[in-house]
Amino acid sequence: MTGFVLAAIAPITTPSVDWLGVAPVIALGGAGVAIVLARALLRRSAVTTPVCVALGILGVVLAAIFEYRLWHLVRADGAITTMAGMVRVDPFGVFLSVVVLIGTIYALFISVAYLKRESLDAPEYLALVMLSAAGMVAIITANDLIAIFVALEVLSIPLYVLAAFDRRRMASQEAGLKYFVLGAFSSAVFLYGVALTYGATGSTSLTAIGDFLANNTLYEQGTLLAGGALLLAGLGFKVAAVPFHFWTPDVYEGAPTPVTAFMAAATKAAAFAVLIRVFSIAFPLYRTDWKPALWVLAVLTLVVGSVAALVQTDVKRILAYSAIAHSGYILIGFQTGTIAGRQAALLYLLIYTFMAIGTFAVIMLASMTGDDRHSLDDYRGFALQRPVLGGILIFFLLAQAGIPLTGGFIAKLEVFSAAAQSNNYSLLVIGVLAAVVAMFFYLRIALALASPATGGEYFSDRRVDRWSGVVVATAALAVLATGVTPGPFIDWARQAVYFV
């Protein structure tokens, strides 16, 4: 009895916290909370939205400064592990966190005009974006399956709401509901995988699992393999890998376009970070087991993504399938299991962020109020009436198709060369052929843009606001720069492949 009392009053020993390691998450999450507070205090005053936008930008900028600091720290002294091993900040994590931050700031910028145009409430929207971004950065630096699960929920739940944010539009509601149901299901699958892995290895920490498997031979492998498969399925859902992709077209189509952009770029980077981290740190010795599974996943993702896009007539749906296909290329890089492959995956995620956000930013600008006219016919004549904007959109599409002298080519080239280097010729050939199939549907969009309009001149009266203009211009420049002078970007990715 006394022992129980003593235990109850004894101070709980909390693990020591290296605050810098979690500072980016705090900055982003704090900005989200601050936005909610600003909304509560300022009510519906005229300054509410500008203040909230400023808070969001402040959060991202602070997080970026912390990441900059962390980058130099981990490059000099090695990875930082803190919060009892829950968080692990390493070059790999910092790189992808920066990718997420780029996606977030771009998403904020293009949301400003969108929310005004659609007369939606900005503060709630912005707070959700910031919270989701906090979850993404947290998941990228998480070193424990439980922490990963928590962060997964933190990043997902705001996204469910964001997908349904344009509540007046049926498609948006449908997208939110569908995303929520399937997302919750995949989270459950992931959690089940966590449980089985814990059962097999006795730990939820990735490094501990890796050490355990390195030092012990499992008497019975089934539990661990089942756990790994369920983890792969749960994460496959988030990266939109086939056969876990069924939500993608509907959600991409229905969600407000800036949210689609955010999902395409930032969520993908975060989910791939986890996928790569879990399988590289916890299960490196089971490579022979997960590599064939990833091979199947990569091939299915490439083929289904590229072929299914051919028959779509809605631009956002085509781009959704193209996002699936892009996941396939990143999977190729990771599947090789080599350092070069991981580097290719990282570079791909960086370049893809610019391409995806840029594309969706122009799509957002081109769409009419209501954000529901995205069929190919609706886009006819866009490049003729708006040569600059249309030209940039075509440039982004060509980049996604992997045409040389754009970043998209360099991204694909790195992935393919990683496959060639590890003698993975089947993936190499399937990859290059899938890229040709993909060219066809990108060309279809480009062709529609350059065809005479059927419905009169309705694109010409739309002005490009300053925020979106900055996004479109800088993203296009980034895609061009990565394509023409890829050296520094490749160097950066090469430094970021390590977990130590």
Binding stretches for another protein (CB under 8 A): 343, 384, 387, 398, 403-405, 409-410, 413-414, 416-417, 419-421, 425, 428-429, 432-433, 435-436, 439-440, 443, 447, 450-451, 486-487, 490-491, 494
**Nearest by Cα to 93 from 75, 110, 109:** 75
- Closest approach of Cβ 98 to another protein, in Å? 20
Q: At its nearest, how many Å lie between another protein and the CB of residue 91?
A: 16
Shortest Cβ 453–another protein spacing (Å): 14
Query: Encoding tokens for residue 26?
Result: 């705090």
Pairing of strands 80-82, 87-89: antiparallel
Residue 456 gets the label, from left (phi > 0), alpha (psi -120 to 50) or beta, of left
Least CB distance from residue 440 to another protein, whole Å? 6
For another protein, the closer CB: 281 or 302: 302
The minimum distance between CB 247 and another protein, in angstroms, equals: 30
Residues 6 or more apart from 269 whose CB is under 8 A from it? 96, 99, 100, 103, 136, 140, 349, 353
Q: Which is nearer to another protein, 253 or 414 (CB)?
A: 414
Residue with the two structure tokens 């956000």: 357
**Residue (109 or 416) nearer to another protein, CB:** 416
322 and 441 Cβ atoms separated by less than 8 Å: yes
In angstroms, give the least distance from the CB of 432 to another protein.
4
Closest CA to 460 of 344, 347, 378, 366: 366
Nearer to another protein, 120 or 447 (CB): 447
Taking the least distance from each CB to another protein, the nearer of 188 and 477 is 477
Burial class of residue 426, CB neighbours in 10 A (0-12, 13-18, 19+): exposed
Closest contact distance (angstroms) between CB of 193 and another protein is: 35
Shorter beta-carbon distance to another protein: residue 32 or 486: 486
Specify the residue, 365 or 398, whose C-beta has the smaller distance to another protein: 398
The distance from CA 383 to its chain's CA centroid, rounded to whole angstroms, is 29
Residue 404 or 455 having the CB closest to another protein: 404
Both structure tokens of 159: 């996204």
For 473, the token pair is 């211009």
Q: SS3 letters for 226-292?
A: HHHHHHHHHHHHHHCCCCCCCHHHHHHHHCCHHHHHHHHHHHHHHHHHHHHHHHHHHCHHHHHHHHH
We find the least distance from the C-beta atom of residue 473 to another protein, in angstroms, to be: 14
